[in-house]
Amino acid sequence: MMKEKSFFRKHMVLISVIGVFLILTLVGVVVYYNPPDVLLDFVIRQGIKLNQQKPSVFEDDGLYVITTGTGAPLPEKGRAGPQTVVVAGEQVLVFDAGPGSTLNLVLSGISPDDISGLFLTHFHSDHIGDIGELALKYWTANGSDVPLQVYGPPGVQMVIDGFEQAYVLDRGYRIDHHGEETMPPSGFGFEVHPFDLGSDLMSSQTVYKSGEVEVIAFNVNHLPVFPAVGYRVNYKGRSVVITGDTIYTESLTHHAKGADTLVSEALNHKYSQMVSDSSKDMGSNVSVVAKDIKTYHIRPDEVGIVANDAEVSQVIITHILPPIPSNILKNAFLRGMKETYSGSVYIANDGTLIKMPVGSDEIFIKELL
Ligand SMILES: [Zn+2]
Ligand SMILES: [Zn+2]
């Protein structure tokens, strides 16, 4: 009896610590599975407050590029369908709307209702799949009363008409539920600005000009897909070129001349052949598709030739084909490019931000997501 008493007394501190730990664990489990309202209220309010206080990454005057979708049709975890966002001063220009890209655009800190224009490179599904979602977010985020402005080569009207029709029922639901003041009917849908560059591969045209922001569309070669265009954005002496989908072409080099940043798609032929060979017995279309796509995408070493000849400062690789199976194979994906281009090359992720301040030659890269 005496022995037991002295045991508890001797280990009083340890027993107290264990007791407190068990009680806290029990409280933790109860709170985790059934948190009290007061705690929920606090956490939600703090979350919203912190979000609103988040400093904007676009505060300095400059040209910013965010790769909000860096994937392609072959699925890869963590990569949405192709989309590149350019922020130039107060203007937000969106290039393509690949599946899943709208979510990344919002998560990157861009308010959809700030979008000045959506520019389409061509009408392959991986570049247009999220147009409906983007337009809906543009309309509903803050009650836009002017529809989303869309720019694209011939065919754009038909594609946009289809999306508009598909979302007409949703338009009605939202106006009925939230009222016309919150969801102005005039802000739903699209206003289309088609442009036609003809079939001359070297032709280009200024398709958007507002303040100091200029967007030039130029033909690229994605045959048999036609039309297919790339874009160049100029803003206060800084510039970015977006290739769209294309094989190597003189048009790219010509229109990328002296650009600060080249955002280029790239397909590694060796990887693609390996995907094709290894999926031959799977009984799906992957093998044939992986082989066929080699004929209408540019290789990394060819991107290097363009960047070198056009004297581009920074290359950003996106629309990565096929998916790179492991991070240790990232450098191998670019094999051959070092021989053709000695400048800086970066394989983009969803949420990569490229900052080009006005009045300097500097280029900064950071990850947002
Ligand atoms: Zn394509
Ligand atoms: Zn594509």
Distance 134 CA to ligand 2 centre (A): 18
pLDDT (tens digit per residue) in 102-113:
999 999 999 999
**CA-wise closest residue to 96 among 117, 113, 120, 80:** 120
Is 84's pLDDT higher than 70? yes
345-to-68, 233, 256, 289, 310 alpha-carbon distances in Å: 18, 20, 15, 28, 15
Mean pLDDT of 262-291: 87
- Protein residues placing their CB within 5 Å of the ion ligand 2: 124, 126, 245
Domain ranges of the chain: 61-367
Buried b (16+ CB within 10 A) or exposed e, 281-304: eeeeebbebbbebbebbbbbbbbb
Gap between the Cα atoms of 68 and 350, Å rounded: 5
37 catalytically annotated = no
pLDDT at 54: 67
Average pLDDT, the chain: 94
Provide the 8-state DSSP code for 167: T
Contact 80, 72 (CB under 8 A): no
Say what the pTM is.
0.91
Bridge partners of residue 213, in order along the sequence = 210, 235
pLDDT at 5: 63
61-367 fold = Metallo-beta-lactamase; Chain A (3.60.15)
State in Å, rounded, how far the first CA of the chain is from the last one.
Answer: 63
Q: pLDDT-derived band of residue 55, with 50, 70 and 90 as boundaries?
A: low
Considering every ligand atom, which ligand is closest to the CA of 222? 1
pLDDT at 29: 87
Catalytic residue among 61, 96, 114, 126: 126
pLDDT (tens digit per residue) in 118-144:
999 999 999 999 999 999 999 999 999
